[in-house]
Structure 1
Amino acid sequence: MAETAGAQTLRRGLAILKLLARYQPGGLGVSEISRKLELNKATAVRLTRTLMEEQFVAQDAETRHYRLGPEAFAVGLAAEPNYVLQRLAAPALRSLALETGDWLFFTVRHGLEAICLSRESGDVPYPQASLRVGDRHPLGLGAGGLAILAAMPKEEAETVLTINAAEIVRRYPQLSEGALRKMLEETREQGYSVIPGSLSPGFWGIGVPVLRADGHPVAAIVLVASAIRMGAARQAVIASRLQGVSQNLMLVPSQN
Structure 2
Amino acid sequence: MTEAPGVLHRAACLLRILAEGGVSGMRLTELAEAIALPRPSVHRVLRSMVEERLLDFDARSKRYTLALALFELAARAGNRMGLRQICRPVLLRLTESLGETLFLLVRDGYEAVCIDRSTGPFAIRSFTGDIGGRVPLGIGQGAMVMLAFLPQEEQDEVIRHNLPRLRELDGTDEATLRAELAQVRRAGHCGRAFGIIPGQTGLAVPILDREGRAVAALSIGSTIEHLTAERSGIIATLMKAEAAAVAAQINPFDPVLRRASAAMEIAAG
Q: In the TM superposition, what is the alpha-carbon distance from 1:245 to its structure 2 partner? A: 1.2
1:231 aligns with 2:228: yes
SS at match of 1:219: strand
Partner of 1:181: 178
Greater shift after overlay, 234-243 or 246-255? 246-255
Q: Which of the pair has more CA radius of gyration?
A: 2
Gaps of 5+ in 2: 1-78, 254-269
1:249 aligns with 2:246: yes
Q: In the TM superposition, what is the alpha-carbon distance from 1:155 to its structure 2 partner? A: 2.8
Specify which of 142, 145, 148 is matched with residue 144 of structure 1.
142
Kindly provide the CA deviation profile for residues 109-157 of structure 1, in whole angstroms up to 9, marking residues without a partner as x. Answer: 0111110111101011223766322111111111111101111122321
Provide the rounded CA distance (Å) in 2 between the counterparts of 1:117 and 1:127.
Answer: 16
Alignment-mate amino acid for residue 177 of structure 1: E
Q: In the TM superposition, what is the alpha-carbon distance from 1:188 to its structure 2 partner? A: 1.2
Provide the rounded CA distance (Å) in 2 between the counterparts of 1:135 and 1:93.
Answer: 17
Aligned pairs, number: 174
Partner of 1:166: 164
Partner of 2:90: 92
Contact map agreement 1:103 1:122 (CA 8 A) in 2: yes
Kindly provide the CA deviation profile for residues 30-54 of structure 1, in whole angstroms up to 9, marking residues without a partner as x. Answer: xxxxxxxxxxxxxxxxxxxxxxxxx
TM-score w.r.t. the length of structure 2 is 0.60
Moved over 6 A (4+): none
Contact map agreement 1:113 1:138 (CA 8 A) in 2: yes
Q: More relative contact order in 1 or in 2 (CA 8 Å, sep 6+)?
A: 2
Kindly provide the CA deviation profile for residues 209-237 of structure 1, in whole angstroms up to 9, marking residues without a partner as x. Answer: 11112222111110111101222221111
Alignment-mate amino acid for residue 206 of structure 1: L
Q: What's the % identity of the aligned pairs?
A: 28
Contact map agreement 2:137 2:162 (CA 8 A) in 1: yes
Specify which of 214, 224, 233 is matched with residue 217 of structure 1.
214
Q: In the TM superposition, what is the alpha-carbon distance from 1:167 to its structure 2 partner? A: 1.1
Provide the rounded CA distance (Å) in 2 between the counterparts of 1:111 and 1:213.
Answer: 19
Q: In the TM superposition, what is the alpha-carbon distance from 1:195 to its structure 2 partner? A: 2.5
1:1-256 pair list within 5 angstroms: 84-127=82-125, 131-173=129-171, 175-252=172-249, 254=251, 256=253
Provide the rounded CA distance (Å) in 2 between the counterparts of 1:129 and 1:107.
Answer: 11
Provide the rounded CA distance (Å) in 2 between the counterparts of 1:229 and 1:156.
Answer: 35
Partner of 1:10: none
Gaps of 5+ in 1: 1-80
Contact map agreement 1:192 1:208 (CA 8 A) in 2: yes
Q: In the TM superposition, what is the alpha-carbon distance from 1:159 to its structure 2 partner? A: 2.0
Provide the rounded CA distance (Å) in 1 between the counterparts of 2:195 and 2:93.
Answer: 27
Provide the rounded CA distance (Å) in 2 between the counterparts of 1:154 and 1:116.
Answer: 24
Provide the rounded CA distance (Å) in 2 between the counterparts of 1:151 and 1:160.
Answer: 12
Provide the rounded CA distance (Å) in 2 between the counterparts of 1:115 and 1:184.
Answer: 19
TM-score w.r.t. the length of structure 1 is 0.63
SS at match of 2:192: strand
Provide the rounded CA distance (Å) in 1 between the counterparts of 2:161 and 2:194.
Answer: 24
Provide the rounded CA distance (Å) in 1 between the counterparts of 2:251 and 2:130.
Answer: 27
Alignment-mate amino acid for residue 153 of structure 2: E
Partner of 1:48: none
SS at match of 1:194: coil
Please provide the CA RMSD for this pair. 2.0
